Amino acid sequence: MRRAFSVRLTCALIWGIGIFGVAAHVALAGAENREVSEQRAMRAYVAAIRYFNPGIDEDEARRIVVAIARESIAEGVDPRLIVAIVATESSFDRTARSSAGARGLGQLMPSTAADDNVSNVEDIDQNIHGTVLTMKGNLDHYSRYDKQHQYVYAIAAYNAGSGAVDEYHGVPPYDETVHYVWKVIVLWRRLWGLTAT
């Protein structure tokens, strides 16, 4: 029961703070408003997912929202960041497959999936679990830096691997990774209700 409330609360916070820049206390002003805000949050995120992937049905989009909220709460990772990563990686296509072998919503490589105990990369819950664990590991790995560098390096490591980020002492000079980091950060900022730059 408490976990379900936490997921609903996170959805309301994501919607209230992220999409429209409304202060959290406004979104959570009262019990009646909380339920309305939770419903609006879910509708907003389902709509966002369907914007990136028009072919996805509403039930699957809802499952993705719930999985992101649940796993993000459990690991203490900003759910908006996970939404930005999944949107950039796969456009919310759980069957996505890259030429390099990455698969699923978070485009997990086979070794990463195995490290995160993901046996079925097309399973929404498992893939989001692996995506959040990978990002959490990256954030922990770069926690010695100020917040800005920590997040930029963690996002770059999600794309290029922490070995490349460590080797270059920052974002590797790969066009794909530079573009990836920029795209994730722009989307993440927009989900916070900020300008793109």
Point out the residues that are catalytic. 89
- Cα gap 93→54, rounded to integer Å: 10
DSSP sequence for 101-168: S-BTTTTB-HHHHHHTT-S-TTSHHHHHHHHHHHHHHHHHHTTTS-HHHHHHHHHHHHHH-HHHHHHH
Dihedral, CA of residue 57, residue 186, residue 21 and residue 75, to nearest 10: 70
